[in-house]
């Protein structure tokens, strides 16, 4: 395909350099955004009198035809084109003649590609938000089903205090809600129109940037033409938000891997979301969770790659900025598939509450409640702490738990113990007495579930 920029030179290039320079192999996915931006630009040019209305309509009809043919497969993208912008303009010129050459009046590829990326990321942010909502719904449904199932809560991966499985799951629901908020906040800065900034200095043509922005659904325009074409902070912010989505997915994945192991046995994953071993017939591997955990590093890499690309660039546009696309495309693609797979995995997960309850009992995670029992009877906390520690050591040595430790043995450690001590260490009570807002009591978990469901309706 002939170079649209031929003139200063004859447009010929070394074949390897030409291939190295080309971005059509990956930016071709922007064809919808590119055509939408060009249609709005043609409409603005006609309205401003920069070209005639008839010329504008010819261009718009030509662009609509190109879009229709690309969608139907009647037109294939020419991989020899330099980029998607040049491809669309070349086909338009072939179909409409000299009129097609007027489309690029009062714009540059610099503001054109910035526009395409903003349109694309705006749509991606909306799609990822919807996928996050589906995942949150799956997590919340499971939390509601298991809001009373007692499990050990952990610190330092050591059994710490009793919580419910529903309470633990709702922690992730809250994280994913914040991920939605971050994406929506990033979308505010994505949703700014750069078109009309041209190469870097604006234009002498009487353009109407705000009209063109309005046609494309932008509430405002970039107010400095150099900034409009030279920064990709909106892409960085998008990738940063996606990186945090993956952080939360990865932490959740790690717990799913642990919970589904024989050592924990807290959950069983559906066969639809596990694989087997090539030589060990007993295996049921949590590969989906492991892949999500692994792809987290890939999304982090996309973020770091773009930050590194941008860090030393002088203003305004530099060809280095072409590297923003593959990073953004890769991150968005991986986050979307991870969210879809993860939602299915969580919604089909089966909890094993009996194993959770047994682990909670054996972990002495009601020891804090036993200490609080003594404090409530006047013993200073540090003294209570030491007394309970001694009791736990005795239980371990004798294969007992606090719930079946004999009363006379309790009383041998302190005369403050009475028959009501067993109510104090009963795991169900230890959970349901924690009624502080956000706590693990069933009523509190129900309130968290109601909050999340209402928040999803409003987002």
58 within 8 A of 96, measured Cβ to Cβ: yes
Tens of pLDDT, residue by residue over 120-152, are 999 999 999 999 999 999 999 999 999 999 999
Q: Which of 305, 340, 356 is the last residue of a domain?
A: 356
Residues with catalytic roles: 156, 277
Asked if residue 251 and residue 367 are part of one domain, the reply reads: no
Question: What is the distance between the alpha carbons of residues 142 and 136, in angstroms, rounded to a whole number?
Answer: 10
pTM across the whole model: 0.92
**How is residue 252 written in tokens?**
């959740």
Q: Is the torsion defined by CA of 163, 140, 175, 311 positive or negative? A: positive
Q: Which of 301, 324, 356 is the last residue of a domain?
A: 356
Asked if residue 347 and residue 201 are part of one domain, the reply reads: yes
Mean pLDDT computed over 90-103: 97
Please provide residue 114's backbone torsions phi and psi, each rounded to the nearest 5 degrees: -60, -40
Question: What is the distance between the alpha carbons of residues 177 and 264, in angstroms, rounded to a whole number?
Answer: 28
Q: Where does the pLDDT of residue 277 fall: very low under 50, low under 70, confident under 90, or very high at 90 and above?
A: confident
Cα angle value 244/250/304 (rounded, 5°): 45
Asked if residue 393 and residue 338 are part of one domain, the reply reads: no
* 372 part of a folded domain: yes
Asked if residue 261 and residue 179 are part of one domain, the reply reads: yes
Range of the domain at 409: 358-458
* 4 part of a folded domain: no
Confidence at residue 7, expressed as pLDDT on a 0 to 100 scale: 56
**How is residue 169 written in tokens?**
């799951």
Q: Where does the pLDDT of residue 283 fall: very low under 50, low under 70, confident under 90, or very high at 90 and above?
A: confident
Mean pLDDT computed over 314-339: 96
- Pseudo-torsion of CA 347, 349, 353, 358, nearest 10°? -140
| pLDDT surpassing 90 at residue 312 | yes
Confidence at residue 3, expressed as pLDDT on a 0 to 100 scale: 58
Asked if residue 289 and residue 363 are part of one domain, the reply reads: no
* 260 part of a folded domain: yes
* 131 part of a folded domain: yes
CATH number at residue 90: 1.10.275.10
Q: Percent helix, strand and coil across the chain, each rounded to 5?
A: 65, 5, 30
Mean pLDDT computed over 432-454: 96
Tens of pLDDT, residue by residue over 358-388, are 999 888 999 999 999 999 999 999 999 999 9
Asked if residue 338 and residue 324 are part of one domain, the reply reads: yes
For 126-187, give the DSSP string: HHHHHHHHHHHHHHHHHHHHTTT-EEEEEETTEEEEEEEHHHHHHHHHHHHHHHHHHHHHHH
Tens of pLDDT, residue by residue over 224-265, are 999 999 999 999 999 999 999 999 999 999 999 999 999 999
Domain count, the chain: 3
Rg (CA), the chain: 30
**How is residue 25 written in tokens?**
């192999």
Nearest one of 344, 335, 34 to 182, comparing CA atoms: 335
| pLDDT surpassing 90 at residue 2 | no
Confidence at residue 11, expressed as pLDDT on a 0 to 100 scale: 62
Asked if residue 185 and residue 195 are part of one domain, the reply reads: yes
CATH number at residue 415: 1.10.40.30
**How is residue 22 written in tokens?**
């080309």
* 110 part of a folded domain: no
Mean confidence (pLDDT) of the chain: 95
Asked if residue 298 and residue 191 are part of one domain, the reply reads: yes
**Angle, helices 53-72/84-96, rounded to nearest 10 degrees:** 120
Burial 176-190 (b: 16+ CB within 10 A, else e): bbebbebbeebbeeb
Asked if residue 329 and residue 191 are part of one domain, the reply reads: yes
Return the SS3 of 208.
Answer: coil
Beta bridge partners of 150: 164
Q: Where does the pLDDT of residue 101 fall: very low under 50, low under 70, confident under 90, or very high at 90 and above?
A: very high
* 43 part of a folded domain: yes
């Amino acid at each position: 395909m002939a170079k649209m920029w031929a003139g200063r030179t004859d447009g010929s290039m070394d074949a390897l350099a030409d291939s190295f320079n080309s971005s059509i192999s990956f930016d071709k996915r922007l064809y919808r955004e590119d055509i939408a931006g060009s249609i709005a630009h043609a409409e603005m040019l006609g309205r401003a009198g920069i070209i005639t209305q008839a010329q504008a309509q010819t261009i718009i009809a030509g662009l609509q035809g190109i879009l229709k043919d690309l969608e139907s497969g009647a037109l294939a993208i020419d991989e020899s084109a330099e980029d998607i912008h040049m491809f669309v303009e070349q086909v338009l010129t072939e179909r409409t003649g000299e009129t097609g050459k007027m489309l690029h009046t009062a714009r540059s590829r610099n503001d054109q590609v910035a526009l395409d990326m903003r349109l694309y990321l705006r749509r991606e942010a909306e799609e990822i938000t919807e996928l996050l909502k589906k995942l949150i719904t799956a997590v919340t449904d499971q939390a509601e089903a298991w809001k009373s199932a007692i499990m050990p809560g952990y610190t330092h991966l050591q059994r710490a205090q009793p919580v419910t499985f529903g309470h633990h799951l709702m922690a992730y629901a809250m994280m994913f809600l914040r991920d939605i908020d971050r994406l929506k906040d990033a979308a505010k800065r994505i949703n700014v129109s750069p078109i009309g900034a041209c190469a870097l200095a604006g234009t002498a043509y009487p353009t109407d940037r705000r009209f063109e922005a309005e046609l494309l659904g932008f509430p405002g325009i970039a107010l400095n033409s150099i900034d409009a074409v030279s920064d990709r902070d909106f892409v960085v912010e998008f990738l940063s938000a996606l990186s945090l989505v993956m952080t939360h997915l990865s932490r959740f994945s790690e717990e799913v891997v642990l919970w589904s192991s024989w050592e924990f046995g807290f959950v069983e994953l559906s066969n639809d979301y596990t694989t087997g071993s090539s030589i060990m017939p007993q295996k049921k591997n949590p590969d989906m969770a492991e892949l999500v955990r692994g792809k987290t590093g890939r999304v982090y890499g996309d973020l770091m790659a773009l930050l590194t690309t941008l860090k030393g660039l002088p203003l305004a546009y530099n060809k280095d900025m072409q590297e923003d696309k593959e990073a953004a495309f890769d991150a968005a693609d991986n986050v979307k598939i991870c969210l879809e797979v993860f939602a299915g995995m969580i919604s089909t997960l089966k909890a094993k509450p009996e194993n959770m309850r047994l682990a909670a009992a054996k972990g002495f995670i009601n020891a804090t409640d036993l200490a609080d029992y003594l404090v409530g009877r006047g013993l200073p906390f540090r003294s209570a702490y030491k007394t309970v520690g001694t009791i736990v050591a005795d239980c371990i040595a004798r294969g007992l738990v606090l719930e079946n430790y004999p009363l006379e043995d309790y009383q041998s450690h302190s005369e403050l113990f009475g028959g009501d001590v067993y109510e104090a260490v009963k795991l169900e009570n230890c959970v349901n007495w924690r009624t502080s807002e956000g706590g693990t009591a069933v009523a509190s978990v129900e309130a968290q579930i109601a909050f999340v469901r209402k928040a999803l309706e409003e987002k």
